[in-house]
Amino acid sequence: MAARTGKEYISGLRDGREVWIGGQRVSDVTEYEPFAGAVQSVAGLYDLQHDHADDCLFAHPETGELTNISHLIPRSREDIARRGTALAHAARYSVGLLGRSPDYVNVSLAGHAGRSDVWSRNGNEEGAANLVRFQADLARDDLALTHAIIRPTVDKGIGDLAAADGQMALHKVADTADGIVVRGAMVLSTLAPFSDEVAVYPGQPLPKDAQKYAIAFSAPIASPASNSSAETRSRPTWPISTRPSRDASTSRMPS
């Protein structure tokens, strides 16, 4: 597909995802009034890349398709500068108020894929190959990703991993032929209601004996048994920031 439009982005959000706010489930995030401004703002970013195609798109080296330049794996100083020009367009468009626009995760994953040799250390060759393949798929489909990288804090006196007897933080509970089964919660997935997928990985170092928490994967927001809970915000109280910005959310991914 490559380089989506705003209309295509909005269409992708109508996938039956489970999003909650104030104890109520949101049936359609694209039509829900408190979310509508943020949805339109992110959609505008997808249209922006076509309006400034010379700066914001590049021909993918493998497919030749025009692709959002935030997916570019930089190999030179010129690549970095070119990407910076494109990101400046996005920053000016949002007046700096879209702090977790899709390019945020795109750039991170492009950097990871560009140094897959680092990720392949300590016997993780398969994981590194999966990372490179996933980043290529992300670029091809021009998806909007959020991340979930922080474990919820219940009691600072005992630490995140010990909460609820170790069951609160997202962790692996089983391996299957198709992958892993996880249970628990992760937070700081700011763009979750308006994303296609959530990239889950530890945002902080883990103890050596915490292998079941050392997991990294991406899953569609509309995955079965997954839900996002958003905070409420008052438009009269925050008349400017509620227009382009987004409500913070928590993603839960129980088995």
Q: Would you state the pLDDT for residue 187?
A: 85
Per residue in 20-73, pLDDT (tens digit) is: 988 899 999 999 988 999 999 999 999 999 999 999 999 988 888 999 999 999
Per residue in 190-232, pLDDT (tens digit) is: 899 999 999 999 988 898 889 999 999 999 999 887 788 887 6
- pTM recorded for the entire structure: 0.84
Tokens of 219: 């899953």
Per residue in 65-81, pLDDT (tens digit) is: 999 999 999 999 999 99
CATH number of the domain that 60 lies in?
Answer: 1.10.3140.10
Which secondary-structure segment (H or E) carries 252? strand 249-252
pLDDT band at 137 (very low <50, low <70, confident <90, very high): very high
- What distance in Å separates the CA atoms of residue 152 and residue 79, rounded to the nearest whole number? 37
- What distance in Å separates the CA atoms of residue 203 and residue 153, rounded to the nearest whole number? 14
- What distance in Å separates the CA atoms of residue 112 and residue 135, rounded to the nearest whole number? 9
Tokens of 204: 């902080």
Question: Cα–chain-centroid distance for residue 215?
Answer: 16
70 domain-assigned: yes
Least confidently predicted of 89-93, 137-141, 166-170, 192-196: 166-170
Angle at 143 between CA 138 and CA 146, to 5 degrees: 100
CA distances from 99 to 31, 88, 102, 248 (A): 22, 13, 9, 11
Per residue in 100-131, pLDDT (tens digit) is: 899 999 999 999 999 999 999 988 899 999 99
Indicate the residue type of 34: P
**Would you give the DSSP letter of residue 204?**
S
Tokens of 25: 């489930």
Look at residue 167 and tell me whether its pLDDT is greater than 90.
no
1 domain-assigned: no
Tokens of 166: 């170790």
Look at residue 234 and tell me whether its pLDDT is greater than 70.
no
Report CA dihedral (210, 224, 13, 244) to the nearest 10 degrees. Answer: -40
Do β-strands 197-200 and 66-68 pair in parallel, antiparallel, or remain unpaired?
A: unpaired
Provide the domain count of the chain.
1
- Domain boundaries, position 104: 6-252
Report CA dihedral (33, 39, 44, 45) to the nearest 10 degrees. Answer: 150
15 domain-assigned: yes
- What distance in Å separates the CA atoms of residue 243 and residue 255, rounded to the nearest whole number? 35
Neighbours of 238 (CB within 10 A): 11
182 contacts 174 by C-beta, under 8 angstroms: no
